Each structure stands twice: as structure tokens, then as C-alpha cells.
Amino acid sequence: MMDALQQLFGPFWPVVWNLAKIVAIILPLMGAVAYLTLAERKVIGFMQVRIGPNRVGYYGLLQPLADGIKLLFKEIILPTAANKFLFLLAPILVLGPALAAWAVVPFDLNLVLADIDAGLLYILAMTSVGVYGVIIAGWASNSKYAFLGSLRSAAQIVSYEIAMGFALVGVLMAANSLNLGKIVLAQAGGFWQWYWLPLFPLFVVYFISAVAETNRAPFDVAEGESEIVAGFHVEYSGMAFAVFFLAEYANMILVATLAAVMFLGGWLSPVPFLPDGFPWLALKVAALLFLFLWFRATFPRYRYDQIMRLGWKVFIPITLVWIVVVGAMMQTPWAYLFH
Amino acid sequence: MIFQDYVFYALAAILLFAGLRVITTRNPVQAALFLVLAFFTAAGIWLLLEAEFLAIVLVLVYVGAVMVLFLFVVMMLDINLDKLREGFWDYAPLAGFVGVLMALEMVMVLGSKHFGYSAPEKHGADYSNTAELGRLLYTDYVYPFEIASVVLLVAIIAAIALTLRRRAGTKHNDPAKQVRVKRADRIRMVSMPAEKDEPAEGEQK
């Protein structure tokens, strides 16, 4: 069948084949995003001794679908004196990089869209581009609340990117590669060989920075409902607003997957008697995503100056020290911990 | 023409368009955004030249950090374009000189085959530009590299030291102090006997 298809499309076959692969990644991802919103409402509901959504479908399982349809039929309101082109471009610029980064994420041995050597750098570059959507949304809305939200978000993302980048430097030193697939393979050998153990401070810094990068509670000053209504997307409605939401949850899944790939052994099985495979990655990602929801249900919002202090004065020094420790350890008999 | 040539011409056209719009658009925020587009397409062209490390770092550093701060400043400032354009003709000769100089340099680089240099060979698929750059920087050029990084560090510290002003009367808080606080520092337990609502003795009738 593949040969017949190949003949049908002729020289365009690689394009068609890659598009099919992209669809095969994006569609399940969008499904995961939809049900992550339901999971969030259910989990936070249970933590606050409520039931959560349970009206649409059995156990509320069709709630995300109902939300999507509702948002789809709502009107997109353009604020007066807003820059129309940039106003509509902003949600796309937020979602685009969040999806583009998935190109280098390995789901299983050799199951990756683009197996490039500079994968880790590519991920960092893509996640740093996402901030433009937020800034442009705030500026193009012609609203003070939106503008304040976007400035907060931009400052926060730029600060935490440094700590995040340094945490990844530790990973690439340990794995000796920027290729995400090779980073996973370098952690082979079960639970105690994964990088969470030798790189524990970097793992913690990476995960907390990831929460800050995705503007999630307790770092959600960019939205800050109690002060600036909804921050950068206060002027958005209907599907334009929904795209911001999609991007936030897609980003959460992305950073959780990256944490699982770089510190928790990706698709590798924690015990030798069970086979490796994609279900392990899904399980690890789900566990990390649960942490995101747990944080949101438990912690009060950080003050802005506390966020900046944590990023610059605590995380960056920790990562710098641990990079030196890793470099020194690699010259000692304990270097086997990293390979 | 092979596929890569088409990609190159498409990227080059976008790059030229974005570069032109940076200097012709009237809105400074749009100019900054076109500069972002220019950086991004330039990174694409560098990828075609097998310089993937430089291309990704261009996106990471210039698009992801430098231009964000640029945009920040441009959005906050109230820029009067007419006032900026006032001195145009005063600067025109200098700008023209710099422009001609840059054009000459580009002719020298692009026309290098006329001066006896040939274009570098293409590498195989397993060639890793990142690893090669790292090897060169940390072996052959380790001292120049370290000196350059120290110079940059000095510049960073100098910039911070020059702009750091200690104003009197700012209400900043000391987190270490906040953490060390004990209950006894904040609360004073006062023992107050209950007051009975009894009539005084002398007033008894």
C-alpha cells in the first residue's frame, strides 16, 4: 500500500509522508490538551472537596467537547484601536512554537519526527520564541491590563529561561549529546540510572522553571485574575481565547515531556523485567502533569519581586554550582553515574 | 535548481523584505517585529549553510532574549518619529559612507572566487557543526575564547555597577530576615484578667 501511495504522489511523497506524521503527533496532542483541562478541573475539584464538572456526558467526560463547541460559536471581538493584524496573529504565535517543539521529542526508540543532533538547542530556541505571542497580544489589544500582563510575562519568561538553559547544560554534559534520543539512551539501566538522581538540583530547578515558563500557578502573575483581570488575553474572546488556552496546556505537556525525557529516562522502563516503550513515557508525563495541577490547587501566588528573586538569586547560582560539580565528578571514578 | 535553492531564494526574499520594512515602517514596534522576522529567516539561511549551531543560537539569543528586551523598551517609550527624522540629512553622508563600506566588504566576500578562494566543500549527513565548533573553541582557540568571555563578564559587571544606585528610603525587604522571623518577634501575649461587672463597694445600698 505504501508503494502505491508513493507512486501516486511522486516527488511530493516526502512532503505528504511528513505531513501525515505531523498530523499523527498533533491530533493525539490536541486530545490530550482537551482532557488535561477536564483533568485539571476534576483534580482541583477533588482537592477542594467539590465534584467538578459532571453534567456533560458520563462523569463529565464530554465537558471539553462542549467547551470547545461553545468557544467556537462565540464572536471574536476586536477592541477599538487595536492593531487587527497583530491582534489575530498573537494567538497563532503562541501556539506555533508550542507545537513546533514536538518535532524533536522522541516517543520511543527511533520514533521521532526529526532526529537532529542539536535537538536540545532547538527545543530551547522554540520555547523562547513563544514569548512573542504574549507580548504582541498585550500590545496589540490596546488595553492597559493586557499590556501590564504581557510585560510581566515577558520579564518572567526571559529570567527563567536562563535557569532552564543552565539546567539543560548539565544534562548535555552528562549525556555527552544534544540529541534527545541519545540523552534517553544514556540513562539506560533502570530507575537508579536516570538523571534525576545525579542531577537532582537541576531536575528541581528545571521543573520549577518550567512551571514559571508556562505562566502556571503559583507563577501566574501574567494572568493575575485578582489584580489585572486576565492579563495578556483579557481582550480575547471566542476561538482566539481558546487558542491561548490550547497553547498553555500544550506547553505544559511539552515541558512535562521534556522533563520526563531528560531526567526520568523517557520511554525507558524503571525495572529491568518490564519492556521499554511509549506507555512509560506517557505515565511519567501524566505524573508530572499531576504535579502542575497539584501546585495550582495548593500554592498561593508568588509576589512579583519574589519571582524575580527566586529566578535570578536562587536558581541561577544553584545551576552554576551544580554544573561545576558535574564537571568535577566526571573526572573522578564516579563518572559512571552519568553514562 | 535543486530544492535547497528554492528554499534559499524564498528565505532570501523574505529576509530582504523584512530588512527593508525595518527601516521603512513608521511604527517602531512593527519595525522591531520585522527585525525579529529578519533574524528568523537569517537563521534559516544559516541552516542551509550547515551552520546549525549558529542558526539555533541566533534564534535563542537574538530572537528569544535580545529582541524581547528591545520590544519591551520600544513599547514603553513614547517615540516621536518626526523628531527622530529631523537630523536625517545631517547623518546622510556618514550613513552613505558606512553603506558603501559594507557593500565593498560584501563584494570582497561574495566575489572571493575571483581572488583565488573556492567555496567550502559540503559535508556528509553525519557532520555535526555543534561538536566541531565545540572542539575548536575548547582546544585550539581555548585562550582567545576564555579571554573573550572574561572581557564580556567585565563588561556585564561594569554595566551593572555603573547603573546601580542606592536610593535612600526604598521599601525593599530582606528575604533572609523574613525567613528568620520567629513568632515571638511579631506577637506579644498579654494576660488580661477578665473584668467583672460588679458595682463598687461604696455605692451599695
| Three-state DSSP string of B4-22 | HHHHHHHHHHHHHHHHHHH
| Residues B143 and B71 both lie in one domain | no
Q: Measured between alpha carbons, how far is B25 from B7 in angstroms, rounded to an integer?
A: 26
| Residues B66 and B2 both lie in one domain | yes
Cβ within 8 Å, pair B130-A128: no
- The rounded Cα B58 to chain-centroid distance in angstroms is 10
Contact between residue A272 and residue A200 where contact means Cβ atoms under 8 Å apart: no
Q: Is residue A308 within 8 angstroms of chain B, CB to CB?
A: no
Cβ within 8 Å, pair A118-B33: no
pLDDT over threshold 60, residue B204: no
Instruction: Please check whether residue B153 lies inside any domain of the structure.
Output: yes
Cβ within 8 Å, pair A151-B72: yes
Size of interface A-B (CB pairs under 8 A): 67
Q: Is residue B7 within 8 angstroms of chain A, CB to CB?
A: no
Domain of B21 in residue numbering reads as 1-78
Q: Is residue A69 within 8 angstroms of chain B, CB to CB?
A: no
| First vs last C-alpha separation in chain A | 42
Q: Which amino acid is at B175?
A: P
Q: Give the model's pLDDT for residue B13.
A: 92
Q: Is residue A147 within 8 angstroms of chain B, CB to CB?
A: yes
β-partners of residue A108 are: A111
Average pLDDT estimate for B175-199: 83
Cβ within 8 Å, pair B64-A116: no
Q: Measured between alpha carbons, how far is A246 from A235 in angstroms, rounded to an integer?
A: 17
| Residues B59 and B132 both lie in one domain | no
| Residues B73 and B142 both lie in one domain | no
pLDDT tens profile A80-106: 877 788 888 888 888 888 888 888 888
* Listed range (A174-188, B61-75, B121-135) with the worst mean pLDDT: B121-135
Q: Is residue A158 within 8 angstroms of chain B, CB to CB?
A: yes
Q: Which of A:221-260 have CB within 8 Å of B?
A: none
**Which residue, of B62, B78, B94, is where some domain finishes?**
B78
Instruction: Please check whether residue B122 lies inside any domain of the structure.
Output: no
The pTM assigned to this predicted structure is: 0.83
Q: Measured between alpha carbons, how far is A207 from A26 in angstroms, rounded to an integer?
A: 24
Contact between residue A9 and residue A16 where contact means Cβ atoms under 8 Å apart: yes
Sorting pLDDT into bands at 50, 70 and 90, what band is A253? very high
Closest approach of chain A CAs to the CA of B119, in angstroms? Answer: 25
Count CA within 13 A, CB hemisphere, residue A296.
24
Q: Measured between alpha carbons, how far is A20 from A213 in angstroms, rounded to an integer?
A: 30
The DSSP line for B83-107 is: HHHTTHHHHHHHHHHHHHHHHHHHH
| Residues B73 and B146 both lie in one domain | no
Average pLDDT estimate for A72-86: 82
Contact between residue A169 and residue A325 where contact means Cβ atoms under 8 Å apart: no
Q: Give the model's pLDDT for residue B14.
A: 93
CA distances (Å), origin B88, targets B82, B84, B91, B100, B175? 10, 8, 6, 17, 51
Contact between residue A222 and residue A153 where contact means Cβ atoms under 8 Å apart: yes
Q: Give the model's pLDDT for residue B82.
A: 67
**Mutation test of the interface with chain A: which of B75, B126, B160, choosing the one with the most A Cβ atoms within 10 A?**
B75
Instruction: Please check whether residue B87 lies inside any domain of the structure.
Output: no
- Of the candidates B59, B75, B175, the beta carbon closest to that of A129 is on B59
Instruction: Please check whether residue B194 lies inside any domain of the structure.
Output: no
Peptide bond into A279 cis (omega under 30): no
Instruction: Please check whether residue B188 lies inside any domain of the structure.
Output: no
Higher pLDDT, A323 or A193: A323
Number of compact structural domains in chain B: 2
Instruction: Please check whether residue B106 lies inside any domain of the structure.
Output: no
Q: Which of A:79-98 have CB within 8 Å of B?
A: 86
Contact between residue A305 and residue A219 where contact means Cβ atoms under 8 Å apart: no
Cβ within 8 Å, pair A121-B65: no
Cβ within 8 Å, pair A132-B59: no
DSSP state of A234: T
Contact between residue A109 and residue A276 where contact means Cβ atoms under 8 Å apart: yes
- Of the candidates B29, B52, B175, the beta carbon closest to that of A139 is on B29
Q: Give the model's pLDDT for residue B17.
A: 92
CATH of the domain at B47: 1.20.120.1200
Alpha helices in chain B (DSSP H): 3-24, 28-48, 52-57, 67-76, 81-85, 88-110, 129-138, 142-163, 175-180, 183-186
**Interacting residues of A18 by C-beta distance below 8 A, sequence separation 6+:** A113
Contact between residue A250 and residue A169 where contact means Cβ atoms under 8 Å apart: no
Instruction: Please check whether residue B110 lies inside any domain of the structure.
Output: no
Sorting pLDDT into bands at 50, 70 and 90, what band is B75? confident
Among chain B residues, CA nearest to A148:
B76
Instruction: Please check whether residue B86 lies inside any domain of the structure.
Output: no
Helix axes A119-129, A144-175, angle to 10 degrees: 170
